[in-house]
Structure 1
Amino acid sequence: MNNNLDNNSEKFPKGHFVGMWMGIGIAIFSGLGIPISIITENFGFIGIGTAIGIVFGLLIGQSIENKYSREGKIRPLTESENINRQVALNLGKKIAITLGIALLTIGILFFLFMYFKN
């Protein structure tokens, strides 16, 4: 733990506040789509809360990031942070592709089952 009395000298990595506030916005607004979809009787609106949360998170996070950048409190990513982000992105892509292929396979099998059932 940092025992300095002057914590204002801390520098944050680029993208820190945008990511943090996107998570906060999603957490706050994600439940909003359920009452909207019940009120409108259209369950296509069930995901609108997450979208609203992303927008608010981006707006607030980017404004804080710009403010801290003007004050000189935002630093560029270090080499290890860049590597960690690339590893996380590559892992996310692999998981998304694997999940997509699995869901496509399940969908095809379900279609074939329903088609040849009769």
Structure 2
Amino acid sequence: MNMNKREKIYLIAIIVLLGLLLAKSFYLDEYKPVTEDEILFREYVEKVIDDKFHGFFSRSKLIGYRIVSIKKVEDEGVSVIEVKSENEGEYKNAEIDGKYVAKIRKYLFHVLPYGEDKILSRK
């Protein structure tokens, strides 16, 4: 099969863009918490993701989810969240200062982003 110069350039561009998408999806999108409250809230968000998104596509590993940001939106009050306790499979209530919101990105085949969702620490 003979490809002309333009087709070769398009093929190279597609390969480069796919490589950039893979790097972005696997290395740049994952949020790293910096405070103890963010660590606890991230654990709570992972539990909510497991409870909320447990359909066929999630069970068959066709769809993945990542926490891409956590922001503190209010300083007043406390949020009561559930986190894992020392005992396996059990959860306990924990308090964090303020109100947090986490942005979740949904991925098809764990690479192609197709949607976003938000989870709040309290209403």
TM-score scaled to structure 2, two decimals? 0.27
Whichever of the two has the greater Rg, that structure is 1
Comparing both chains, which one has the higher relative contact order based on Cα–Cα distances under 8 Å and sequence gaps of 6 or more? 1
Greater fraction strand:
2
TM normalised by structure 1 equals 0.28
